[in-house]
Structure formats: C-alpha cells, structure tokens
C-alpha cells in the first residue's frame, strides 16, 4: 500500500532527571506544607502530560509525517517537493534550542523528546526542521528509498 510507512519511530519523554525534579518538588511540598492541594494537582497534571508526551515520525511514499501527541492530534506532513536537503545530525538540545519538546528558533524548528540525534531538514518553503530520532541513519535511509 502506498501510505505504509518505510520508517516509523515512536519516542517517549522519559528523562530520569525530569521525574526526579517533579518528585522532589512534590516531596518538598508535602514536607514543608501546610498541604497545598492545588500545587500537588499542578505537579500531577504536568507529570501526566509529560508521561503521555510522544513524538511519532514516519517516512511514507509522499513525505515525512510527524506529530507530538497530545499537542498535535493529527500528523503534520512535509512533502518531498518541500525538502531541499536533509542529513542525520547530532545536536545539543539545550544549547541550540533551549531544551526538549517543540522548540522555535530563528529560521528553524525542533521536535524532540530525548537524546541528541536527529534528522535535519532544510525546506524550500518555510523554516528548517529538526526531528529528533534515536535511529537517524535508518530515518535517512528510508528517505533515500522513498525519494528514488
């Protein structure tokens, strides 16, 4: 079938330091309290959001699809005609984009949930896009296969 993905990756936001930080904040609130239920609810809501956060990427015959669930309900597509250049790359999420998640910088966007590797896409129309990946070489190979 034409829309079966040549490459599919699902990454989840699972950095241990984030969970330690959230747990530490909740513990401090419980110890130092009077118990602030509102604050604990906020910490719990953030934990649930981060636990459910995932980046899904697919390479299909007609382009690259990605979504950051639950922030994107449907896939975003970058058509092959819009891809000028691509390469697998290593990067510093903190230094280059200020962290993980959906990030904007002048002339570029990043979608990443973990790690420091991904696929850099320069587009003919619009900002360059960095899609974080734990398997950037496989991602790049699937693009080569799809665009031949």
Q: What is the pLDDT of residue 57?
A: 96
**Domain 55-147 belongs in CATH node 1.10.275.10:** no
Q: What is the pLDDT of residue 37?
A: 75
What is the spatial distance between Cα 10 and Cα 102, in angstroms, rounded to a whole number? 15
Q: What is the pLDDT of residue 85?
A: 95
Q: What is the pLDDT of residue 2?
A: 60
Pick out the chain residues at pLDDT < 50: 1
- Name the strand (E) or helix (H) holding 90: strand 83-90
Q: What is the pLDDT of residue 136?
A: 94
Burial class (CB in 10 A: 0-12, 13-18, 19+), 85: exposed
What is the spatial distance between Cα 148 and Cα 141, in angstroms, rounded to a whole number? 11
Q: What is the pLDDT of residue 23?
A: 83
């Amino acid at each position: 079938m034409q829309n079966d993905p040549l490459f599919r990756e699902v990454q989840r936001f699972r950095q241990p330091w984030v969970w330690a930080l959230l747990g530490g904040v909740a513990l401090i609130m419980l110890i130092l309290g009077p118990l602030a239920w509102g604050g604990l609810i906020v910490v719990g809501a953030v934990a649930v959001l981060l636990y459910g956060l995932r980046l899904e990427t697919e390479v299909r015959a007609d382009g690259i699809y990605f979504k950051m669930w639950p922030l994107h309900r449907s896939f975003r597509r970058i058509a092959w005609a819009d891809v000028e250049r691509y390469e697998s790359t290593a990067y510093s999420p903190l230094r280059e984009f200020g962290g993980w998640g959906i990030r904007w910088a002048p002339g570029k966007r990043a979608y990443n949930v973990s790690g420091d590797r991904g696929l850099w896409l320069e587009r003919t129309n619009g900002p360059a896009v960095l899609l974080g990946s734990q398997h950037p070489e496989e991602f790049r190979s699937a693009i080569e296969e799809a665009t031949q």
